[in-house]
A and B are shown apart, each in its own frame.
Chain A
Amino acid sequence: MTILTENKIQTFRDRLYTNDMPEIIRRGGEGLTPVKKYPEDERGYPLVPIKKITRFFLEEMGKAQFVLPNQYIEELCTLFKILIFDLPAVSFDLGVSISQNDIQEADNKTTIELLTTNVIITYFHLVKTNIGSQDDSLLNPDMQSIIKQSTAGRDYKHLVSNTLKGLIFSLAQDKPWFEYIQDINDADLICRLAGARLPRMEKTTLVSIISKSRQEIDGHNEIFTKLLYTRARTVSNQENKKEYFKSMDRLDTVIYGVLKKIDRFLAMTYQLHQILDLPSKSIIGDTFSKLRQNMQWLFFEVWPKALEQGEMPHQTAISALRYRMNILFSVPHITRFCREFTHTPEFQAPVNDLFQLMFKALADKIRQVSMEKSNTRADLERVERALFEIRRAIENLDPDQSQFTHEKEDVKIAYIALILKTDLESLEAVLSLCDMVCDVTHDKDREIMIRIRSVLMEKSFFPLEEYAGKKIPPKDAIPEISRRLQAFAVHYRPQREFYRTFFDTYIIAKPRPKVPHFTQFLMTNRYFAQAMLMHFANGKAMADLLPGSYIEKAGQLLNDLLEKTKASV
């Protein structure tokens, strides 16, 4: 998870470069003294103190519970990129970099902070010396090279060796295995910031940590397995309903407790896997496949073979599936564990089944809303939540995007049908779901817009037909015609495409029987037809929306109509 979000850095950047100050406070004016936050260099550029940047970065990192060395360096890189992109007219007060001796004497936490300070100073020194040049390479900094430059002229051998000694001492202590992680992590980060690498850990030390971790997960999984079997037995054998519910409630509470423990274990396994570059499978050991089996059983209805012969019926109701996912996604590290194994082809089937059902349920829900007489806000919120739910499932389980083509198409068809059916008032709310529909159907190219535009065009005539039923003088009808057309046009993007196509389709095209066309208004409500032409012929109002020739054409048609009307009178 990202610690420094773009927004957070942007807010800091605004404050750092005093962009958050009104111009007059920064620059002053006639008789007005500016507030100068920083002293200026000989060119008049404010000297932004680097220590502010360092403090911000270290504070933000300090807020996170655990930061892996890779992530730490990536966050630093992101900070650099955002701070120097489109750099205003400033210079930097670099301060003094920390000496080798000061760093060597400090504890782990302080060492990391001091080394980080030096890296930041090095980077901004490069920026400062490059101000005004066309060199863009600093916009995408090579962190390895910057770290290397920050260590130039210093000998960190002693620091690295001391850090490793400290680590070896810490690893020799008898403590829970996960308590070693922070020590290894700190040592790794120090080594990296000092331009070195953490040496491969001694096999015996590693075996000792891993064997402890394996013992822990083995214990958890054993209880977990027993609980799952007991649960299965209770479902099959307990006939007394009262007892059944009592046992099940108790069992599920305990299962949830064990899941939390496993989740915490997997979180730490993940950290170890990241630091030592060891696959989770080797940290978990033999229990890995058993744990996977249990997770498949609990969350994906893949029953163990032994029980399968007992022929327990499979639960495929959407409610049960949603319930299971609700529980799964509340334990994020188990979710990641499941995501990893379901990426292996042989374990993909249950996840694919799950998504097939979810997409089907989503399409059904959209259709259900389509069938309602009018779409209330609550109905659409139901669809929105269903979209949220499936999007969350996609984010968490990351299924193969090329799968479920048919199901996704069905969702799109249902959505298009919903747009077609939706009344004018709810149209905006329905179309606001489009982005999410694109997300869940992996429509990155927004191909659905082709169909949406087509359906908007098809639909846009109906509200006019409906309004034409009312006998209203042309001048009074124009604003309503404009409003009704506008309701569709704004979603066509750009609207002028809508107006031109509308004009082509319903006004210029040859009328054909049973096909909606403007000429039908000439028969049913001539005043309305006149109002429509007046609307399109209004050069001032339509200038940005229709090509001039179309406005002229509308004017000609209007004149013809008025002449015919006059003649008939």
Chain B
Amino acid sequence: MWSLGYLRIPQQYGNLLLKTIYMLEKLALQKKFITKAQCSQALEACRGADNLDLALKNYFEKENILTDKQMKALLATYSALKIIQKSQVFGNSAVDLGFASKEQFLQEMARQKKKIAENRQPEFIGKIWVQDQTLTQEQYQEIIQPLRKVQPAQGPARASKPLADPGAEQPGAEQIDYSLTRELACGVMLEVDVSGMTAFIRKTGKFKDTVTAAEIMEQLEDNGIVYGLVEPFEVEKFIASSEFRTRPFRIAKGTDPVPGKNARIEYFFDTDPLKAVGIDEDGNMDFKDRGPIPWVKKGCLLAKKFPMTEASEGRNVFDQVIPGPAVADRPLKSGTGVVCASGGLEAYAQISGTPSLDQSGKIQIRGTFTVPTDVSFETGNINYNGDIVIKGTLKAGFKAMGHVIHVGTVDGGKIHATGDVTVSNGMISGNVYARGNVSIGFVQNATIYCLGNLFVDKEILDSRIITSGAVMIKTGEIISSDITCNKGLFAQHLGTEKSVPNIVTFGVDTFTDRELKSISNQIEHIMERQEKIHEELDSLSKEIFRRTANTLRLVHEIDHARQENFLLSKSPGASSARGLKSQIQVNKRLLVRLDKELNQMLDRIEEKKSQREKFKVEAAQLENTLEKLRSEQGNFTQWKQHNPGVAQAVVSGRVIPGTMINGPDVSMEILEIRNNVKIFQTRVTTGGDTASGIDIVDNTNRK
């Protein structure tokens, strides 16, 4: 409950009715339709009613307190008073802005008041003036806009607003009009502003200086002004003063509420990783590049919450609580792989992986990045520093780069994996590079490079395979393909009668050789770049030194001009002698120019320094890359030593004539159909000479 003088209104009735009830009650009391006690009783009796207006009306009728006619009269008077008040404010503004004369205003107001006296409803002065073209529409808007109640500021909506109800109005958005103008019995006019935060009094013609401060205070209290009142001695000063007949005296002032702050969460990872489109080097939109997928290390700070600060409430002159603007809290929600610390104010990664923020604001981390659909224009390329699962198809023109990669189907896309690759269905065209094993349903018109073994279920057709391990297609066939494997080949059929024959190279580690060559090239390239960077750094350091030396001249010139001006300004008669004054002005202009020039030179030095910093960062990165490449070089060299080639092919079905077999040292073309054979490179002795040769033997026993 909050009090309004003697009238107590339950808060749940809402603020909206307050003014009406207050005015109605005032008018009813003035017209002596009701007593104060009756009013309080009515409100008490109607407490909790859905429609308070109707309940009150019914109550008054039932209790025979107010007749219908009295009620109507009250409401009509109330409405008329409101229009007059509004017209008064509007008219004053129009006069102030020079859109209407004072005479026009007074004349119109007199006409409206006459209407009231004749028991007719007055009209809003603004509407009349637009109709009779005293005001243009623009002038009307110019006056009315500032007079409109202040709306809540535009800006981000509060998170506390229910998400499921777009468009729902915020409660309490409507402003209550607290304005009041009333002549008190002690001869002062009481005026309360529209916000109810300030109350003024001024002396009327009836005011007598015999009135006491206590009387004024009592009458103010009778009218509900109870909060923020001035001290009695100030009221006494008001009484004693000869002023305040026109100028108002502020008798009470409310306390404004202090707004609080909404809770806020700052995220330290990319919350929206897949950009709409990227921009390529030429500035064109690149629908394939949607940026890297974020990856965080275990222990990394993911988000920080800044808690809300509550608003502190204010009070108006009627001692009503003015709540501060609502503040919204936001919980920091953590899901799988995320742990909250600092009393729920910070979220950290519990595992390394991809952080994500779901619709409910929960942060989660997954070690595997899953694409539920195809990799196409909708997703862009997938570049992820971890395991990837693509449930759909990797479409032509798109890439998936990651550690272990699982794909449904590859339809022309490219895979670059630092671990194993599994393609559940098959691969039609496209490219796979894997530093691990590759398992695949079938391969058609594709290229596969892999460090481990290649396992194929059905067939390899029109493809090129290079592997440091073995190629195993134990129940399928290889058709029109070029296969290079280090650890041998195991297939059911090698070629068909109608197809172009295969080329099989075994016992040769082309994959590792290519890797080593590529690493060597990269090392060479990096070392060249390092050399260039060192040259650049040297030259930049010299350039910075030279430019810094050049700035000296300007600095000296500035010092000189400044000193000269100082001396000139100190010379006797400097303020009056025209020559001196003009020299001082010349020097001042010179100083401005020199200051600008020196700033420009320093800008250029800073530019060079910033370039130098970038080169230093690049040099450090190159050093790091170089170290990694050297380590990689060592790893591949050791791998090659540990995995010598196995120059053999085991075919459980048929081998078609024309098939080209290449061993590490010798080649041979298959001339007739062979079934279930083992082909291998061996040492052949002919006439005392030993040479390498390809041998084909039946594999019946091995089967």
CB neighbors of B among A4-52 (8 A): 7, 11, 15, 20-25, 29-35
Minimum C-beta distance from A275 to chain B (A) = 30
**Chain A interface extent, by class:** 35 or more
Give the one of B276, B306, B558, B646 with max A CB within 10 A.
B276
- Asked whether, in the complex, the Cβ of A20 is within 8 Å of the Cβ of B277, the reply is no
- Asked whether, in the complex, the Cβ of B470 is within 8 Å of the Cβ of A31, the reply is yes
- Asked whether, in the complex, the Cβ of A33 is within 8 Å of the Cβ of B642, the reply is yes
Nearest A residue to B625, CB-CB? A11
- Asked whether, in the complex, the Cβ of B643 is within 8 Å of the Cβ of A33, the reply is yes
- Asked whether, in the complex, the Cβ of A508 is within 8 Å of the Cβ of B591, the reply is no
- Asked whether, in the complex, the Cβ of A235 is within 8 Å of the Cβ of B469, the reply is no
Minimum C-beta distance from B348 to chain A (A) = 14
A31 to B167 alpha-carbon distance, docked (Å): 67
User: Which B residues are in CB contact (< 8 Å) with A326?
Assistant: 548, 551, 602, 605
Check: A341 CB closer than 8 A to any chain B CB: no
Minimum C-beta distance from B623 to chain A (A) = 9
- Asked whether, in the complex, the Cβ of B643 is within 8 Å of the Cβ of A457, the reply is no
User: Which B residues are in CB contact (< 8 Å) with A547?
Assistant: 163-164, 166, 359
- Asked whether, in the complex, the Cβ of B598 is within 8 Å of the Cβ of A319, the reply is yes
User: Which B residues are in CB contact (< 8 Å) with A34?
Assistant: 642
Minimum C-beta distance from A252 to chain B (A) = 6
- Asked whether, in the complex, the Cβ of B277 is within 8 Å of the Cβ of A31, the reply is no
Check: B556 CB closer than 8 A to any chain A CB: yes
Question: Which one of B52-60, B81-89, B627-635 is at the A interface?
Answer: B627-635
Question: Which one of A160-168, A200-208, A347-355, A495-503 is at the B interface?
Answer: A495-503
Minimum C-beta distance from B289 to chain A (A) = 14
- Asked whether, in the complex, the Cβ of A513 is within 8 Å of the Cβ of B635, the reply is no
Minimum C-beta distance from B485 to chain A (A) = 11
Minimum C-beta distance from A226 to chain B (A) = 18
Nearest B residue to A248, CB-CB? B556
A460 to B391 alpha-carbon distance, docked (Å): 36
Minimum C-beta distance from A515 to chain B (A) = 6
User: Which B residues are in CB contact (< 8 Å) with A158?
Assistant: none
Picked from A15, A244, A508, the residue with its CB within 8 Å of the CB of B556 is A244
User: Which B residues are in CB contact (< 8 Å) with A327?
Assistant: 548
Picked from B472, B554, B560, the residue with its CB within 8 Å of the CB of A244 is B560
Minimum C-beta distance from B171 to chain A (A) = 15
User: Which B residues are in CB contact (< 8 Å) with A20?
Assistant: 628, 631-632, 635
Nearest B residue to A385, CB-CB? B606
- Asked whether, in the complex, the Cβ of B276 is within 8 Å of the Cβ of A318, the reply is no
Picked from B420, B469, B555, the residue with its CB within 8 Å of the CB of A31 is B469
**Chain B interface extent, by class:** 35 or more
User: Which A residues are in CB contact (< 8 Å) with B386?
Assistant: none
A134 to B56 alpha-carbon distance, docked (Å): 73
User: Which A residues are in CB contact (< 8 Å) with B594?
Assistant: 319
Question: Which one of A107-115, A209-217, A483-491 is at the B interface?
Answer: A483-491
User: Which A residues are in CB contact (< 8 Å) with B551?
Assistant: 323, 326
- Asked whether, in the complex, the Cβ of A35 is within 8 Å of the Cβ of B563, the reply is no
- Asked whether, in the complex, the Cβ of B599 is within 8 Å of the Cβ of A318, the reply is yes
Nearest B residue to A544, CB-CB? B359
- Asked whether, in the complex, the Cβ of B631 is within 8 Å of the Cβ of A508, the reply is no
Check: A550 CB closer than 8 A to any chain B CB: yes
User: Which A residues are in CB contact (< 8 Å) with B418?
Assistant: 22
Q: A35-B642, A86-B298, A494-B357 are in contact. Are A385 and B157 (CB under 8 A)?
A: no
- Asked whether, in the complex, the Cβ of B628 is within 8 Å of the Cβ of A453, the reply is no
A519 to B558 alpha-carbon distance, docked (Å): 60
Question: Which one of B148-156, B423-431, B495-503 is at the A interface?
Answer: B148-156
The 0/1 profile, CB within 8 Å of A marked 1, for residues 544-572 of chain B is 00001001111111111011011000100
CB neighbors of B among A510-524 (8 A): 512-515
- Asked whether, in the complex, the Cβ of B157 is within 8 Å of the Cβ of A505, the reply is yes
CB neighbors of A among B329-372 (8 A): 357, 359
Minimum C-beta distance from B193 to chain A (A) = 23
CB neighbors of A among B596-617 (8 A): 596, 598-599, 602-603, 605-607, 610
Q: A29-B453, A495-B272 are in contact. Are A35 and B599 (CB under 8 A)?
A: no
Check: B118 CB closer than 8 A to any chain A CB: no
Question: Which one of A263-271, A287-295, A442-450 is at the B interface?
Answer: A442-450
Q: A31-B469, A494-B272 are in contact. Are A319 and B163 (CB under 8 A)?
A: no
Check: A373 CB closer than 8 A to any chain B CB: no
User: Which A residues are in CB contact (< 8 Å) with B548?
Assistant: 326-327
A489 to B272 alpha-carbon distance, docked (Å): 9
A22 to B555 alpha-carbon distance, docked (Å): 59
Check: B686 CB closer than 8 A to any chain A CB: no
- Asked whether, in the complex, the Cβ of A494 is within 8 Å of the Cβ of B470, the reply is no
Picked from B436, B472, B624, the residue with its CB within 8 Å of the CB of A7 is B624
- Asked whether, in the complex, the Cβ of B553 is within 8 Å of the Cβ of A319, the reply is no
Check: B639 CB closer than 8 A to any chain A CB: yes
- Asked whether, in the complex, the Cβ of B272 is within 8 Å of the Cβ of A235, the reply is no
A312 to B570 alpha-carbon distance, docked (Å): 11
Give the one of A322, A446, A483 with max B CB within 10 A.
A322
User: Which A residues are in CB contact (< 8 Å) with B607?
Assistant: 381, 385
CB neighbors of B among A231-267 (8 A): 235-236, 241, 244-245, 248-249, 252
The 0/1 profile, CB within 8 Å of A marked 1, for residues 272-302 of chain B is 1001110000000000000000000011000
- Asked whether, in the complex, the Cβ of A235 is within 8 Å of the Cβ of B563, the reply is yes
Picked from A29, A86, A508, the residue with its CB within 8 Å of the CB of B166 is A508
A231 to B155 alpha-carbon distance, docked (Å): 59
- Asked whether, in the complex, the Cβ of B155 is within 8 Å of the Cβ of A454, the reply is yes
Picked from B167, B275, B599, the residue with its CB within 8 Å of the CB of A319 is B599
User: Which A residues are in CB contact (< 8 Å) with B559?
Assistant: 235, 248, 315
A252 to B554 alpha-carbon distance, docked (Å): 13
- Asked whether, in the complex, the Cβ of A457 is within 8 Å of the Cβ of B156, the reply is yes
Minimum C-beta distance from A495 to chain B (A) = 4
Q: A23-B419, A385-B603 are in contact. Are A483 and B277 (CB under 8 A)?
A: yes
- Asked whether, in the complex, the Cβ of B154 is within 8 Å of the Cβ of A515, the reply is yes
- Asked whether, in the complex, the Cβ of B157 is within 8 Å of the Cβ of A501, the reply is yes
- Asked whether, in the complex, the Cβ of A248 is within 8 Å of the Cβ of B624, the reply is no
Nearest B residue to A35, CB-CB? B638
User: Which B residues are in CB contact (< 8 Å) with A550?
Assistant: 163, 166
Nearest B residue to A236, CB-CB? B563
Check: A340 CB closer than 8 A to any chain B CB: no
Q: A32-B487, A503-B166, A549-B164 are in contact. Are A323 and B272 (CB under 8 A)?
A: no
Q: A313-B566, A513-B141, A549-B163 are in contact. Are A29 and B555 (CB under 8 A)?
A: no
Nearest A residue to B277, CB-CB? A483
Check: B437 CB closer than 8 A to any chain A CB: yes
CB neighbors of B among A465-506 (8 A): 482-483, 486, 489-490, 493-497, 500-501, 503-505
A33 to B673 alpha-carbon distance, docked (Å): 34
User: Which B residues are in CB contact (< 8 Å) with A7?
Assistant: 624
User: Which A residues are in CB contact (< 8 Å) with B558?
Assistant: 315, 317, 319-320
Check: B476 CB closer than 8 A to any chain A CB: no
Check: B685 CB closer than 8 A to any chain A CB: no
Q: A24-B435, A382-B603 are in contact. Are A35 and B275 (CB under 8 A)?
A: no
Nearest A residue to B646, CB-CB? A31
- Asked whether, in the complex, the Cβ of A22 is within 8 Å of the Cβ of B642, the reply is no
User: Which A residues are in CB contact (< 8 Å) with B639?
Assistant: 25, 35
User: Which B residues are in CB contact (< 8 Å) with A454?
Assistant: 155-156
Minimum C-beta distance from B113 to chain A (A) = 31
User: Which A residues are in CB contact (< 8 Å) with B161?
Assistant: 504
Check: A337 CB closer than 8 A to any chain B CB: no
The 19 sampled A-B contact pairs (Cβ below 8 Å) are A15-B631, A20-B632, A22-B435, A24-B420, A24-B452, A30-B470, A32-B487, A35-B635, A85-B299, A235-B563, A248-B556, A249-B552, A319-B595, A319-B598, A320-B558, A327-B548, A388-B606, A450-B264, A494-B267
Give the 8 A-B CB pairs with smallest separation, nearest first: A319-B598, A504-B157, A494-B271, A22-B435, A248-B556, A508-B167, A313-B566, A495-B272
Q: A23-B419, A553-B167 are in contact. List 18 more A-B contacts (CB 8 A).
A: A22-B635, A25-B636, A32-B453, A33-B642, A235-B563, A236-B563, A244-B556, A248-B559, A311-B570, A323-B602, A327-B548, A385-B606, A446-B266, A483-B276, A500-B157, A505-B154, A513-B145, A549-B163
